[in-house]
Amino acid sequence: MKDTRTDIVNLAEKLIRTRGYNGFSYKDISAPLNIKNAAVHYYFPTKCDLGLAVVNRNRNAFEIETRKWSKESPDVQLSRFMKIYEDSRAAKMVCFMGAFGSSYDSLPSELQGALTIAGAEIRLWLKQLLTKGLEENVFAFTENIECKADSIISALLASLILGKVTGQDILANVRNVINNTI
């Protein structure tokens, strides 16, 4: 029993996170899946719909995953968060935020909106995690919490981009510094 819709979103996500939202076409989806271009339009009438499916699936997965971890120690939760980036690196993909965000001005406004919300959700989650970690003396940094959260997210996000460009494991270096300054 096949699930064409999921196959389409899976492939779209991979294409978006390696080639960018403007770097693939419906043919790049339909040909490998052995379906016709119109079959992709059947599930996702516009390209924006397809982009939204990718963004919202990531938002949803993040919410479900982080909720699962929510009873664990903040340092464990942070490790799990960084593991998401490690998995992306292993798959030679950048994160969805980096993929869409760097061509933000070219995106349909509906996609921009979904992305803005996703960014706010991730920042809020990490800020709350860092706050909890400080309270429980699991973390010991002295910087402003929001500044620290933004630094961590940014470093992780770009480590995947810079890693693709340089061919080096930039993420490993970034994780090293995060672990030493938290």
Partner DNA sequence: TTGCTTACTTACTAATTAGTAAGTAAAATT
Partner DNA sequence: AATTTTACTTACTAATTAGTAAGTAAGCAA
From a copy of itself, DNA, none, interface partner of 174 (C-beta below 5 to 8 A by class) = a copy of itself
From a copy of itself, DNA, none, interface partner of 106 (C-beta below 5 to 8 A by class) = a copy of itself
End-to-end CA distance of the chain: 47
Please answer whether residues 24 and 15 qualify as being in contact, where contact means their C-beta atoms are separated by less than 8 angstroms.
yes
Window 24-63: residues binding a copy of itself (CB under 8 A): 24
From a copy of itself, DNA, none, interface partner of 94 (C-beta below 5 to 8 A by class) = a copy of itself
CA 181 to chain centre: 23
Distance CA 170, CA 89 (A): 10
* Nearest residue to 171 via CA among 101, 74, 82, 79: 82
Nearest approach, Cβ of 41 to a copy of itself (angstroms)?
A: 21
Structural tokens at position 30: 């339909």
* Nearest residue to 154 via CA among 114, 130, 123: 123
CB nearer DNA, residue 33 or residue 138: 33
Binder among 33, 39, 138, 161 for a copy of itself (CB under 8 A): 161
Distance CA 166, CA 176 (A): 18
Nearest approach, Cβ of 130 to a copy of itself (angstroms)?
A: 12
Structural tokens at position 16: 């978006």
Binder among 24, 81, 96, 100 for DNA (CB under 7 A): 24
CB nearer a copy of itself, residue 63 or residue 72: 63
Q: How many CB atoms lie within 10 A of CB 70?
A: 12
Rule CB under 8 A: which residues touch a copy of itself? 18-24, 92, 94, 97-106, 115-116, 118-120, 123, 142-144, 146-148, 150-151, 153-159, 161-162, 164-167, 170, 173-174, 176-178, 180-181
Rule CB under 7 A: which residues touch DNA? 4-5, 24-28, 34-39, 41-42, 45-48
